[in-house]
Amino acid sequence: MGDIRRRSAVVLGVTSLVAPLALALGATPAQAASCTSSTGPYQKKVEKFLGRPVDGKQSSADCKAIRAFQTKHGITPNIGYAGPVTWGVMDLMNKQKAVGKNPNKSGKCPTNKGRIACVNLTLQLSWIQDGKKLVYGPVPVRTGRNGYETRTGLKKVYWRNIDHVSTIYDVPMPYSQFFDGGQAFHSVGVSMWNPPGSHGCVNMTKTAAKKYWSLLKTGDDVYVYGRKPGT
C-alpha cells in the first residue's frame, strides 16, 4: 500500500508540472489569441461605425478597437477581424437606432388589443404599447437562434416567475414571463447582440426585464413577428 501511495504521489507531481511547462515552452491559452493584421471584407464599414479613420486598411489601432467591440458583445473569434458577423451586429445596431421612438411605424403589431408587448424579430426590438400609445421601449432583445426560433404570432402571458430557473438548461431566468410554451421574456447577463441568439426566449437586459415585469400581467397579449437575421 505504501508503494502504491508513493507511485501516486510521483504521478500527481508530474501531472502538476505539465501546465506550467507547456506555458514555459510557449503555449498560450486559446483566449490569448493575437490581434490580426488582416484587412476584413467590411473594413471600411466597421471603421466608420467605430469612428476610426476610414481608409479600408487594417492598423493596430483598428484591430484594437474592433477587438474591444467583439469582446464586449461576445463575438468570436475576437481577433479584431472586420468580418461578416461583426459587421452584421453593427448593421443591426444602426437599424435599431434608426427606429427611434416609433417602433410600430409599419402598424404590424396590433393596436386594437389594449396593452400588448410587441417583438420585432427582424430588428431584434421589443416594446410595450397601449393601442397606438408607446408605453415603454423600444429595447434591443436577443431572440432564438437558428433551429430554436422564437415562434411568431399572437400569444398571451400565461405564467410569471420572478426567480425562475430553466429545467432544461439549468440556468437562471430572472423576471420570466412565459407566453408560448417554454418561451418567455427574461433577463440575461450577456450582451443583447451576442450571437447566435437564445434557445427561443426573448432575452433582455435586467433593466428592461424588470420594467416588463412591472408593466405586464398574466393575460396580457404578446405579438411576435418578422424573422431574426441568420434564421
What would the grid cell of residue 54 be?
476610414
Cell 402598424 belongs to 107
Look up the pTM and report it: 0.84
- Measured CA to CA, the distance from residue 47 to residue 43 in angstroms comes to 6
Give the fold, CATH level 3, of 102-225.
L,D-transpeptidase catalytic domain-like (2.40.440)
73 is catalytic: no
Q: Report the length, in residues, of the chain.
A: 231
DSSP 55: S
63, 73, 118, 186: the catalytic one is 186
Using pLDDT thresholds of 50, 70 and 90, give the confidence band for residue 29: very low
Q: Which helix (H) or strand (E) holds 23?
A: helix 2-24
Q: Say what percent of the chain tops pLDDT 90.
A: 81
201 is catalytic: yes
Q: Which of 111, 109, 104, 117 is nearest to 221 (CA)?
A: 117
Checking if the pLDDT of 211 tops 70, the result is yes
pLDDT in tens, 82-118: 999 999 999 999 999 999 999 999 999 999 999 999 9
Overall average pLDDT of the 119-145 stretch: 98
**Domain residue limits, the chain:** 42-97, 102-225
pLDDT in tens, 67-76: 999 999 999 9
Q: Which amino acid is at 139?
A: V
Using pLDDT thresholds of 50, 70 and 90, give the confidence band for residue 6: very low
63, 109, 118, 201: the catalytic one is 201
- Measured CA to CA, the distance from residue 46 to residue 28 in angstroms comes to 29
Kindly give, in sequence order, each residue whose CB lies less than 8 Å from that of residue 115, ignoring residues fewer than 6 positions away.
128, 129, 130, 135, 215, 216, 220, 221
Checking if the pLDDT of 20 tops 80, the result is no
In this structure, are strands 172-180 and 159-165 parallel, antiparallel, or unpaired? antiparallel
Using pLDDT thresholds of 50, 70 and 90, give the confidence band for residue 166: confident
Residue 187 CA neighbour count, 13 Å, CB half: 15
In this structure, are strands 202-204 and 183-187 parallel, antiparallel, or unpaired? parallel
Average pLDDT for the chain: 88
Q: Which of 187, 179, 180, 183 is nearest to 217 (CA)?
A: 179
Checking if the pLDDT of 16 tops 70, the result is no
Checking if the pLDDT of 4 tops 90, the result is no
Sign of CA dihedral 59, 62, 63, 64: positive
Checking if the pLDDT of 175 tops 90, the result is yes
Checking if the pLDDT of 23 tops 60, the result is no
